[in-house]
Amino acid sequence: MVRVGFPEKLGFALPAELPTGVELVPLADQLQGTVELDVLIGDPYYSRTIAKWPHLRGVRLLLSLLAGTEWAPPLVGPGVTICNARGAHSIATAEWTLTAILTMLKYIPRYVEIQKSGVWKRRFEQVEHYASLAGVPGSVEPPVLQEELHGKRVLLVGHGSIGQEIERLLAPFEVELTRVARSPRENPRVHAIAELDSLLPAAEIVILILPLTDETRHLINARRLALMKQGTLIVNAARGAIVETDALVKELKAGRLRAALDVTEPEPLPEDHALWHAPNVLVTEHIAGSTPQFARRAMRVAFEELARYVKGEPLENVVQAGRD
Protein backbone atom coordinates (compact mmCIF):
# COMPACT_ATOMS: atom_id res chain seq x y z
CA MET A 1 0.00 0.00 0.00
CA VAL A 2 1.37 3.42 -1.04
CA ARG A 3 0.73 6.10 1.58
CA VAL A 4 -0.02 9.43 -0.09
CA GLY A 5 -0.23 12.67 1.86
CA PHE A 6 -2.31 15.51 0.44
CA PRO A 7 -3.46 18.95 1.70
CA GLU A 8 -6.53 18.38 3.85
CA LYS A 9 -8.18 21.53 2.50
CA LEU A 10 -8.12 20.07 -1.03
CA GLY A 11 -10.21 17.04 -0.19
CA PHE A 12 -13.00 18.48 -2.34
CA ALA A 13 -10.70 18.28 -5.38
CA LEU A 14 -9.83 14.58 -5.10
CA PRO A 15 -10.73 12.61 -8.24
CA ALA A 16 -13.74 10.32 -8.04
CA GLU A 17 -11.66 7.25 -8.90
CA LEU A 18 -8.39 6.64 -7.08
CA PRO A 19 -5.51 4.42 -8.19
CA THR A 20 -5.60 0.98 -6.59
CA GLY A 21 -3.11 0.30 -3.84
CA VAL A 22 -3.22 3.87 -2.48
CA GLU A 23 -3.93 5.01 1.07
CA LEU A 24 -4.74 8.71 1.32
CA VAL A 25 -3.48 10.66 4.32
CA PRO A 26 -4.99 14.16 4.76
CA LEU A 27 -2.47 16.67 6.11
CA ALA A 28 -3.41 19.75 8.09
CA ASP A 29 -1.58 23.02 7.48
CA GLN A 30 0.26 22.56 10.78
CA LEU A 31 1.44 19.08 11.69
CA GLN A 32 2.24 17.69 15.12
CA GLY A 33 4.67 14.80 15.48
CA THR A 34 5.80 12.80 12.46
CA VAL A 35 3.92 11.22 9.58
CA GLU A 36 5.16 8.29 7.50
CA LEU A 37 4.47 8.71 3.76
CA ASP A 38 5.66 7.33 0.44
CA VAL A 39 4.31 10.18 -1.71
CA LEU A 40 3.56 13.80 -0.88
CA ILE A 41 1.18 15.96 -2.90
CA GLY A 42 2.39 19.48 -2.19
CA ASP A 43 0.32 22.44 -1.08
CA PRO A 44 -0.66 25.19 -3.56
CA TYR A 45 1.32 27.53 -1.27
CA TYR A 46 4.77 25.98 -1.22
CA SER A 47 5.57 27.72 2.07
CA ARG A 48 3.12 25.28 3.70
CA THR A 49 4.92 22.33 2.12
CA ILE A 50 8.18 23.70 3.50
CA ALA A 51 6.61 23.98 6.96
CA LYS A 52 5.29 20.40 6.84
CA TRP A 53 8.47 18.79 5.54
CA PRO A 54 10.33 18.41 8.92
CA HIS A 55 7.37 16.32 10.16
CA LEU A 56 7.41 13.88 7.22
CA ARG A 57 9.35 10.63 6.96
CA GLY A 58 9.95 8.23 4.07
CA VAL A 59 8.83 10.44 1.18
CA ARG A 60 10.27 9.25 -2.13
CA LEU A 61 8.09 11.26 -4.52
CA LEU A 62 6.92 14.87 -4.31
CA LEU A 63 4.05 15.75 -6.63
CA SER A 64 3.94 19.54 -6.74
CA LEU A 65 0.72 21.32 -7.64
CA LEU A 66 2.79 24.16 -9.05
CA ALA A 67 4.53 24.69 -12.37
CA GLY A 68 7.63 26.18 -10.74
CA THR A 69 9.59 23.89 -8.41
CA GLU A 70 12.84 25.80 -7.84
CA TRP A 71 12.04 25.79 -4.11
CA ALA A 72 11.78 21.99 -3.86
CA PRO A 73 15.27 20.49 -4.45
CA PRO A 74 16.92 22.38 -1.57
CA LEU A 75 14.05 21.24 0.67
CA VAL A 76 13.80 17.53 -0.12
CA GLY A 77 17.38 16.76 -1.17
CA PRO A 78 18.60 14.58 -4.05
CA GLY A 79 16.95 11.36 -2.87
CA VAL A 80 13.39 12.46 -3.66
CA THR A 81 11.88 12.50 -7.13
CA ILE A 82 10.09 15.78 -7.89
CA CYS A 83 7.32 16.22 -10.46
CA ASN A 84 5.67 19.50 -11.34
CA ALA A 85 2.06 20.14 -12.36
CA ARG A 86 2.78 20.62 -16.03
CA GLY A 87 -0.39 21.71 -17.79
CA ALA A 88 -2.40 22.59 -14.68
CA HIS A 89 -1.72 26.33 -14.98
CA SER A 90 -1.63 26.66 -18.76
CA ILE A 91 -5.12 28.00 -19.43
CA ALA A 92 -5.32 30.45 -16.52
CA THR A 93 -1.81 31.84 -16.95
CA ALA A 94 -2.16 32.16 -20.71
CA GLU A 95 -5.45 34.04 -20.25
CA TRP A 96 -3.78 36.38 -17.73
CA THR A 97 -0.95 37.00 -20.19
CA LEU A 98 -3.29 37.91 -23.03
CA THR A 99 -5.38 40.09 -20.70
CA ALA A 100 -2.28 41.91 -19.41
CA ILE A 101 -1.03 42.59 -22.92
CA LEU A 102 -4.37 44.01 -24.07
CA THR A 103 -4.74 46.00 -20.85
CA MET A 104 -1.43 47.73 -21.48
CA LEU A 105 -1.91 48.25 -25.23
CA LYS A 106 -5.38 49.69 -24.68
CA TYR A 107 -4.05 51.86 -21.79
CA ILE A 108 -6.84 50.66 -19.51
CA PRO A 109 -5.13 51.77 -16.25
CA ARG A 110 -4.91 55.34 -17.56
CA TYR A 111 -8.53 55.34 -18.68
CA VAL A 112 -9.63 54.00 -15.28
CA GLU A 113 -7.93 57.04 -13.74
CA ILE A 114 -9.77 59.31 -16.18
CA GLN A 115 -13.06 57.60 -15.36
CA LYS A 116 -12.49 58.28 -11.66
CA SER A 117 -11.84 61.96 -12.43
CA GLY A 118 -15.08 62.29 -14.42
CA VAL A 119 -13.40 64.55 -17.04
CA TRP A 120 -14.07 63.25 -20.56
CA LYS A 121 -11.58 65.54 -22.30
CA ARG A 122 -8.70 64.07 -20.33
CA ARG A 123 -8.63 61.24 -22.85
CA PHE A 124 -6.50 63.46 -25.06
CA GLU A 125 -3.73 63.23 -22.48
CA GLN A 126 -3.17 59.81 -24.02
CA VAL A 127 -2.02 61.37 -27.32
CA GLU A 128 1.01 62.94 -25.71
CA HIS A 129 1.66 59.86 -23.60
CA TYR A 130 1.68 57.61 -26.66
CA ALA A 131 3.99 59.97 -28.54
CA SER A 132 6.45 59.94 -25.63
CA LEU A 133 6.33 56.17 -25.19
CA ALA A 134 6.64 55.46 -28.91
CA GLY A 135 9.43 57.99 -29.33
CA VAL A 136 7.43 59.98 -31.88
CA PRO A 137 8.46 63.66 -32.03
CA GLY A 138 5.69 66.25 -31.76
CA SER A 139 1.96 65.60 -31.73
CA VAL A 140 0.33 62.58 -33.39
CA GLU A 141 -2.39 63.05 -35.99
CA PRO A 142 -4.96 61.68 -36.05
CA PRO A 143 -4.95 61.21 -32.25
CA VAL A 144 -3.73 57.80 -31.06
CA LEU A 145 -5.79 56.78 -28.04
CA GLN A 146 -4.88 53.07 -27.95
CA GLU A 147 -2.75 50.48 -29.74
CA GLU A 148 -3.50 47.21 -31.53
CA LEU A 149 -2.08 43.80 -30.69
CA HIS A 150 -2.70 42.72 -34.27
CA GLY A 151 0.58 42.31 -36.16
CA LYS A 152 2.85 43.10 -33.20
CA ARG A 153 6.29 41.45 -33.07
CA VAL A 154 6.16 39.14 -30.05
CA LEU A 155 9.13 37.37 -28.49
CA LEU A 156 7.88 34.39 -26.47
CA VAL A 157 10.65 33.35 -24.07
CA GLY A 158 9.64 29.91 -22.83
CA HIS A 159 7.77 27.31 -24.88
CA GLY A 160 6.53 24.71 -22.43
CA SER A 161 2.85 23.94 -21.89
CA ILE A 162 2.01 27.50 -20.76
CA GLY A 163 4.02 29.07 -23.58
CA GLN A 164 2.25 26.89 -26.11
CA GLU A 165 -1.15 27.90 -24.72
CA ILE A 166 -0.13 31.57 -24.92
CA GLU A 167 0.80 31.02 -28.55
CA ARG A 168 -2.62 29.47 -29.22
CA LEU A 169 -4.42 32.47 -27.72
CA LEU A 170 -2.27 34.91 -29.69
CA ALA A 171 -2.97 33.22 -33.02
CA PRO A 172 -6.16 35.19 -33.89
CA PHE A 173 -4.22 38.45 -33.55
CA GLU A 174 -1.80 37.42 -36.32
CA VAL A 175 1.26 38.53 -34.37
CA GLU A 176 4.76 37.94 -35.68
CA LEU A 177 5.81 35.33 -33.13
CA THR A 178 9.39 34.32 -32.34
CA ARG A 179 9.85 31.46 -29.87
CA VAL A 180 12.76 31.03 -27.45
CA ALA A 181 13.50 28.17 -25.06
CA ARG A 182 16.43 26.65 -23.23
CA SER A 183 17.02 24.23 -26.11
CA PRO A 184 16.48 25.01 -29.81
CA ARG A 185 13.90 22.94 -31.69
CA GLU A 186 12.33 22.66 -35.12
CA ASN A 187 8.68 22.24 -36.17
CA PRO A 188 7.86 24.76 -34.90
CA ARG A 189 11.09 26.75 -34.90
CA VAL A 190 12.28 27.52 -31.38
CA HIS A 191 15.43 29.57 -30.86
CA ALA A 192 17.92 28.92 -28.06
CA ILE A 193 18.35 31.34 -25.17
CA ALA A 194 21.88 31.91 -26.48
CA GLU A 195 20.26 33.83 -29.37
CA LEU A 196 18.31 36.17 -27.09
CA ASP A 197 20.57 39.19 -27.53
CA SER A 198 20.07 39.18 -31.29
CA LEU A 199 16.29 38.75 -30.99
CA LEU A 200 15.43 41.37 -28.37
CA PRO A 201 16.00 44.54 -30.45
CA ALA A 202 13.22 43.68 -32.92
CA ALA A 203 10.57 42.72 -30.34
CA GLU A 204 7.64 44.97 -29.44
CA ILE A 205 6.37 42.57 -26.75
CA VAL A 206 8.59 40.23 -24.69
CA ILE A 207 6.74 37.48 -22.81
CA LEU A 208 8.63 35.62 -20.08
CA ILE A 209 7.23 32.20 -19.20
CA LEU A 210 10.19 29.95 -18.38
CA PRO A 211 11.39 28.24 -15.19
CA LEU A 212 13.68 29.95 -12.71
CA THR A 213 17.08 28.29 -12.78
CA ASP A 214 20.67 29.41 -12.27
CA GLU A 215 20.73 30.08 -16.02
CA THR A 216 17.54 32.17 -16.11
CA ARG A 217 18.00 34.17 -12.88
CA HIS A 218 18.26 37.83 -13.96
CA LEU A 219 18.11 36.68 -17.57
CA ILE A 220 16.58 40.09 -18.29
CA ASN A 221 19.19 42.36 -16.76
CA ALA A 222 20.27 45.94 -17.37
CA ARG A 223 22.26 45.01 -20.46
CA ARG A 224 19.39 43.13 -22.08
CA LEU A 225 16.85 45.78 -21.14
CA ALA A 226 19.05 48.27 -22.97
CA LEU A 227 18.81 46.09 -26.09
CA MET A 228 15.04 46.55 -26.24
CA LYS A 229 13.50 49.22 -28.41
CA GLN A 230 11.64 52.27 -27.13
CA GLY A 231 8.18 51.32 -25.85
CA THR A 232 8.74 47.56 -25.63
CA LEU A 233 6.24 45.81 -23.35
CA ILE A 234 7.72 43.20 -20.97
CA VAL A 235 5.24 40.62 -19.65
CA ASN A 236 6.41 38.37 -16.81
CA ALA A 237 4.14 35.53 -15.68
CA ALA A 238 7.01 33.23 -14.74
CA ARG A 239 9.17 34.13 -11.74
CA GLY A 240 10.12 37.60 -10.53
CA ALA A 241 13.84 36.83 -10.31
CA ILE A 242 14.06 36.32 -14.07
CA VAL A 243 14.02 40.13 -14.32
CA GLU A 244 16.51 42.40 -12.54
CA THR A 245 14.03 44.60 -10.69
CA ASP A 246 16.18 47.67 -10.04
CA ALA A 247 17.21 47.82 -13.69
CA LEU A 248 13.59 47.51 -14.82
CA VAL A 249 12.43 50.28 -12.45
CA LYS A 250 15.12 52.54 -13.90
CA GLU A 251 13.88 51.93 -17.46
CA LEU A 252 10.24 52.46 -16.42
CA LYS A 253 11.02 55.76 -14.73
CA ALA A 254 12.92 56.87 -17.83
CA GLY A 255 9.77 56.25 -19.89
CA ARG A 256 11.61 53.92 -22.23
CA LEU A 257 9.93 50.58 -21.46
CA ARG A 258 6.66 49.33 -20.01
CA ALA A 259 5.80 46.14 -18.14
CA ALA A 260 2.98 43.87 -16.97
CA LEU A 261 4.09 41.75 -14.02
CA ASP A 262 2.30 38.98 -12.15
CA VAL A 263 5.52 38.12 -10.32
CA THR A 264 8.19 40.31 -8.76
CA GLU A 265 11.52 40.23 -6.99
CA PRO A 266 11.22 40.53 -4.04
CA GLU A 267 7.92 38.77 -3.46
CA PRO A 268 5.75 39.77 -1.72
CA LEU A 269 6.60 43.25 -2.94
CA PRO A 270 7.14 45.58 0.06
CA GLU A 271 4.59 48.37 0.43
CA ASP A 272 7.25 51.07 -0.06
CA HIS A 273 8.88 49.48 -3.11
CA ALA A 274 9.46 51.78 -6.08
CA LEU A 275 7.90 49.29 -8.50
CA TRP A 276 4.41 49.96 -7.12
CA HIS A 277 4.53 53.58 -8.25
CA ALA A 278 6.70 53.36 -11.37
CA PRO A 279 5.09 54.67 -14.57
CA ASN A 280 3.93 52.38 -17.38
CA VAL A 281 3.65 49.25 -15.22
CA LEU A 282 0.82 46.89 -14.27
CA VAL A 283 1.44 44.74 -11.20
CA THR A 284 -0.84 41.90 -10.11
CA GLU A 285 0.07 39.98 -6.99
CA HIS A 286 0.97 36.51 -8.34
CA ILE A 287 -2.62 35.68 -9.19
CA ALA A 288 -2.36 34.39 -12.77
CA GLY A 289 -3.02 30.74 -11.91
CA SER A 290 -5.63 31.32 -9.21
CA THR A 291 -8.98 30.38 -10.72
CA PRO A 292 -11.86 28.20 -9.47
CA GLN A 293 -10.68 25.44 -11.81
CA PHE A 294 -7.10 25.33 -10.47
CA ALA A 295 -7.46 22.89 -7.57
CA ARG A 296 -9.26 20.12 -9.47
CA ARG A 297 -7.06 20.56 -12.53
CA ALA A 298 -3.84 20.40 -10.51
CA MET A 299 -4.99 17.42 -8.44
CA ARG A 300 -5.96 15.60 -11.62
CA VAL A 301 -2.43 16.09 -12.96
CA ALA A 302 -0.98 14.85 -9.65
CA PHE A 303 -3.17 11.75 -9.53
CA GLU A 304 -2.43 10.85 -13.14
CA GLU A 305 1.24 10.93 -12.18
CA LEU A 306 0.49 8.95 -9.02
CA ALA A 307 -1.25 6.25 -11.07
CA ARG A 308 1.87 5.88 -13.21
CA TYR A 309 4.03 5.67 -10.08
CA VAL A 310 1.88 2.94 -8.51
CA LYS A 311 1.98 0.91 -11.74
CA GLY A 312 5.75 1.30 -12.04
CA GLU A 313 5.41 3.26 -15.28
CA PRO A 314 7.72 6.15 -16.29
CA LEU A 315 6.69 9.49 -14.80
CA GLU A 316 5.97 12.33 -17.23
CA ASN A 317 6.62 15.57 -15.33
CA VAL A 318 9.93 14.81 -13.63
CA VAL A 319 12.05 17.84 -12.79
CA GLN A 320 14.38 15.92 -10.46
CA ALA A 321 14.95 12.17 -10.58
CA GLY A 322 15.59 10.94 -7.04
CA ARG A 323 18.85 9.14 -6.37
CA ASP A 324 20.31 7.44 -3.35
Query: How do residues 161-179 score in pLDDT, each as one tens digit?
Result: 999 999 999 999 999 999 9
3-class DSSP assignment, residue 154: strand
The answer on 18 and 152 residing in a single domain is: no
Q: Which residue has the higher pLDDT, 172 or 32?
A: 172
What pLDDT is recorded for position 140? Answer: 75
The answer on 98 and 69 residing in a single domain is: no
Is the pLDDT score of 321 beyond 80?
yes
Residue 123 is among the residues annotated as catalytic for this protein: no
Query: In this predicted model, what pLDDT tens digit does every residue of 276-312 receive, in sequence order?
Result: 999 999 999 999 999 999 999 999 999 999 999 999 9
Which pLDDT band, with edges at 50, 70 and 90, does 322 fall under? confident
Q: With respect to residue 59, please indicate whether it lies within any of the assigned structural domains.
A: yes
Residue 89 is among the residues annotated as catalytic for this protein: no
Q: With respect to residue 167, please indicate whether it lies within any of the assigned structural domains.
A: yes
Q: With respect to residue 133, please indicate whether it lies within any of the assigned structural domains.
A: no
**How far, in Å, CA of 318 to CA of 204, rounded?**
34
Query: In this predicted model, what pLDDT tens digit does every residue of 197-231 receive, in sequence order?
Result: 999 999 999 999 999 999 999 999 999 999 999 99
The answer on 309 and 189 residing in a single domain is: no
Is the pLDDT score of 324 beyond 70?
no
The answer on 44 and 158 residing in a single domain is: no
What pLDDT is recorded for position 122? Answer: 95
Q: With respect to residue 209, please indicate whether it lies within any of the assigned structural domains.
A: yes
The answer on 35 and 96 residing in a single domain is: no
- Name the average pLDDT for the chain: 95
The catalytic residue among 153, 224, 273, 286 is 286
In which domain, by residue range, is 72 found?
A: 2-86+292-320
Residue 304 is among the residues annotated as catalytic for this protein: no
Interacting residues of 184 by C-beta distance below 8 A, sequence separation 6+: 190, 191, 192, 195
Q: With respect to residue 116, please indicate whether it lies within any of the assigned structural domains.
A: no
How many separate domains does the chain show? 2
What pLDDT is recorded for position 130? Answer: 92
The catalytic residue among 8, 176, 267, 313 is 267
The catalytic residue among 110, 179, 239, 297 is 239
What pLDDT is recorded for position 197? Answer: 98
Average pLDDT rounded to a whole number, residues 142-154? 95
Is the pLDDT score of 63 beyond 90?
yes
In the chain, pLDDT over 90 holds for what percent of residues?
A: 91
The answer on 165 and 26 residing in a single domain is: no
Q: With respect to residue 265, please indicate whether it lies within any of the assigned structural domains.
A: yes
Q: With respect to residue 267, please indicate whether it lies within any of the assigned structural domains.
A: yes
The answer on 215 and 100 residing in a single domain is: yes
Q: With respect to residue 96, please indicate whether it lies within any of the assigned structural domains.
A: yes
The answer on 192 and 71 residing in a single domain is: no
CATH of the domain at 196: 3.40.50.720
User: Contacts by 270-279 with C-beta closer than 8 Å and gap 24+?
Assistant: 274/249, 275/245, 275/248, 275/249, 278/249, 278/252, 278/253, 279/252, 279/253, 279/255
Average pLDDT rounded to a whole number, residues 119-141? 88
Query: In this predicted model, what pLDDT tens digit does every residue of 64-120 receive, in sequence order?
Result: 999 889 999 999 999 999 999 999 999 999 999 999 999 999 999 999 999 999 999
3-class DSSP assignment, residue 234: strand
The answer on 22 and 157 residing in a single domain is: no
The answer on 299 and 276 residing in a single domain is: no
The answer on 160 and 279 residing in a single domain is: yes
The answer on 225 and 160 residing in a single domain is: yes
